[in-house]
């Protein structure tokens, strides 16, 4: 299962995330900002990539192995 833990973000985003969350929730108090995915395994990413062909829609452009 993909991670939602901010500790799995790169260092820059670990620093920026709390600031962004605080700013967003102050600006939009009726809304809550959440992380939906901070890290996926290669297998999880490949499964998403395969959905491109199955659905005909681009789910992700990265296959989890090759970089663009």
d(CA 40, CA 59): 14
Please give the model's pTM, rounded to 2 decimal places.
Answer: 0.66
Does the pLDDT at position 43 exceed 70? Answer: yes
Mean pLDDT, the chain, whole residue set:
92
Domain boundaries, the chain: 6-55
Please state, in angstroms and as integers, the Cα–Cα distance from residue 49 to each residue in 6, 17, 18, 37, following that order.
23, 26, 30, 15
CB atoms closer than 10 angstroms to residue 42: 10
d(CA 13, CA 7): 9
Nearest to 8 by CA among 49, 44, 32: 44
């Amino acid at each position: 299962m993909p991670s939602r833990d901010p500790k799995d973000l790169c260092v820059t985003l670990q620093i920026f995330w709390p600031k962004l969350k605080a700013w967003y929730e102050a600006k939009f108090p009726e809304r809550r900002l959440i992380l939906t995915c901070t890290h996926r395994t290669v297998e999880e990413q490949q499964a998403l990539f395969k959905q491109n062909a199955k659905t005909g829609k681009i789910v992700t452009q990265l296959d989890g192995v090759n970089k663009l």
